[in-house]
Amino acid sequence: MAIGDVREVTVGDCSDLYYLDTGMYETEGYGAVYIRDDERPAIVETGIGTNYELILDALAELDIAPEDVAVITVTHIHLDHAGGAGLLAEACPNADVHIPGVGASLLADPGKLVAGTKNAVGDQWQYYVEPEPIPEDRIVELEDGDVIDLGEHELRVHTAPGHAFHQVVFEDPANDAVFTGDAAGIWIPDREEIVETSPPSDFDLEQCLDDTRTIADIDPDVLLYTHFGPRYVGDDADRALEEYATVLTEWVNAVEAKRGELDDEELMDHFAAATDHGDAWSDEKASAEAAMNVRGVVGYLDGRE
């Protein structure tokens, strides 16, 4: 799947759902945005803002006018999910922007969010654009249990704060699917492999494990990953979520064990050099991802002491 490509989600019972590769970090197969074609068309996730025009091109390809988009929503306010929300709000003037309530103010006035993101992603900031503030009168604050009505489909909101305190996942009952945000890890479709995500500064292992159980209890047939793409799990949702819980736990244990030998900078360098995800993304992205994930685990371990 090339950057800018738009594909229909055809696994399971999914219908009227499309996703595109936004070319996040100039990397194929890393950042997806979903478009729901319904009575009230919706964009789920918005990327980092760079290449947001590709989302508008996808709307055009699907014969959805920007003026007809009714909902723009994000699973959480990390800028790889919400960085394009302000730009899309400008381009889609009739859309409400649905944001987890605890993080909404940070997208209305994103200065603190930008500073935190720069600190978290380091040199990767070169791939971002400054997010546009979202007018407060366009924001709909989401809470656990809320429902976003799209017409034939709806999105049910479930809090999932382990990856970030402001994260939710969206259950799509009609499609027997869940938009997972980062609560179910990062899916590498070409390798059919699930890998960890543990960025600073809110990562909490125990809560992340609870979040996997939240999704498992929904028992979807399809997991819709922002990173990256749809995954059919059928009757094996429990197994898929348990697999990620194991991956994440083993990752935290590995960082903790190595921390006894290395200082924090050496620790990041060690895992950045050891990652084998470069063949799926790029060596630069894989190393930066590993270093960022180490920092998140270190922060979690420090908070536990």
Query: CATH number, domain at 184?
Result: 3.60.15.10
Q: Which amino acid is at 221?
A: D
pLDDT per residue as tens digits for the range 114-165: 999 998 998 999 999 999 999 999 999 999 999 999 999 999 999 999 999 9
Listed in sequence order, the residues at least 6 apart from 270 whose beta carbon sits closer than 8 Å to its beta carbon are 258, 262
> What pLDDT sits at residue 75?
98
Confidence of residue 304 (pLDDT cuts 50, 70, 90): confident
Give me the torsion for CA of 243, 120, 270, 256, rounded to 10°.
-60
How far is residue 299 CA from its own chain's centroid?
A: 20
Residue 64 to residue 17: CA distance in whole angstroms: 13
Average pLDDT over residues 81-93: 98
Q: 177 with 12: CB under 8 angstroms?
A: yes
Give me the torsion for CA of 9, 167, 292, 2, rounded to 10°.
20
> What pLDDT sits at residue 61?
98
Q: Is the confidence at residue 293, as pLDDT, over 80?
A: yes
How far is residue 123 CA from its own chain's centroid?
A: 20
Q: Which amino acid is at 171?
A: E
Domain span at residue 179?
5-303
pLDDT per residue as tens digits for the range 8-48: 999 999 999 999 999 999 999 999 999 999 999 999 999 99
Residue 22 to residue 6: CA distance in whole angstroms: 10
pLDDT per residue as tens digits for the range 202-244: 999 999 999 999 999 999 999 999 999 999 999 999 999 999 9
Q: Please state the domain count of the chain.
A: 1
The pTM (predicted TM-score) of the whole model is 0.97
Confidence of residue 98 (pLDDT cuts 50, 70, 90): very high
Q: Which amino acid is at 26?
A: E
Q: Max alpha carbon distance in the chain (Å)? A: 57
Q: 103 with 57: CB under 8 angstroms?
A: no
Q: Is the confidence at residue 305, as pLDDT, over 80?
A: no
Please, which residues bridge with residue 232 across strands?
Answer: 222
Q: Is the confidence at residue 287, as pLDDT, over 80?
A: yes
Listed in sequence order, the residues at least 6 apart from 73 whose beta carbon sits closer than 8 Å to its beta carbon are 42, 43, 44, 45, 97, 98, 99, 142, 148, 155, 170
Pairing of strands 96-100, 139-142: parallel
Residue 304 to residue 166: CA distance in whole angstroms: 20
pLDDT per residue as tens digits for the range 55-73: 999 999 999 999 999 999 9
